[in-house]
Amino acid sequence: DSGVTQTPKHLITATGQRVTLRCSPRSGDLSVYWYQQSLDQGLQFLIQYYNGEERAKGNILERFSAQQFPDLHSELNLSSLELGDSALYFCASSVVLNTEAFFGQGTRLTVV
Amino acid sequence: GENVEQHPSTLSVQEGDSAVIKCTYSDSASNYFPWYKQELGKGPQLIIDIRSNVGEKKDQRIAVTLNKTAKHFSLHITETQPEDSAVYFCAAQDLGGSYIPTFGRGTSLIVHP
């Protein structure tokens, strides 16, 4: 167990809907990363937060947004969902910016 | 930005054999190279890492080597066991710059008993 908690584990929703994925980092970790893992795409970096501030953006669609709250948990919001958004979404956390990242178990999103 | 290539995409070995997975990176600023193991239905788990001031690091049956000049690094697993079967990801990261781990596309390792 990495200490990173993601909820829910599974999510099935219809096209056009909006969902929120939640991540609780390891105790004391200030940095949170979000990654998308599709079948043949590997781990694609979406966005990083550090101590409540957005730190870096990757290939994140405009329909997606995220935030990190004062208690350091983070939420990834996905809206106007499309079939192609079906994937595993992982959250990772690290103590500070330049230390190793630990991953949660992921949220499997299925858009039907 | 950083680009990480990982080979092979699939590796099938017999129990007891060695397995080698290779990665190359493009950004010479990258100085931290972690390896993750992802078992079915689970998140990636850090198994070993190496920093650019070190050429090799070992931890029991796994080892990682780094060639900074050639910009490539490898994961070596000796005496493979069925429980080593998983997807392995390499990553490269600049701990003094962007701080974002860039991952390879993964290697599915299958160890046959």
Say which of A4, A90, A100 has its CB closest to residue B49.
Answer: A100
For chain A, give the number of residues. 112
Stretch B10-28: mean pLDDT, rounded?
96
Distance from CA of A83 to the nearest CA of B (A): 21
* pLDDT score recorded for residue A99: 78
Q: Give the model confidence (pLDDT) of A40-76 as tens digits.
A: 778 999 999 999 999 999 989 999 999 999 999 999 9
Interface test with B, best of A39, A100, A108 (most B CBs within 10 A): A100
Residue A93 is predicted with a pLDDT of 94
What's the pLDDT at A2? Answer: 83
**Amino acid identity of B93?**
Q
With 0-12 / 13-18 / 19 or more C-beta atoms within 10 angstroms meaning exposed / middle / buried, residue A43 is buried
pLDDT, average across residues B54-60: 92
Q: Are A59 and A38 in contact (CB under 8 A)?
A: no
Residue B53 pLDDT level (bands cut at 50, 70, 90)? confident
State the pLDDT at residue B52.
87
CA nearest to A56, candidates A72, A32, A26: A32
Q: What is the residue type of A82?
A: E
d(CA B54, CA B74): 13
Q: Does A24 touch chain B (CB under 8 A)?
A: no
Q: What is the spatial distance between Cα A19 and Cα A79, in angstroms, rounded to a whole number? A: 6
| Structure confidence at residue B62 (pLDDT) | 98
- B90 pLDDT above the threshold of 80: yes
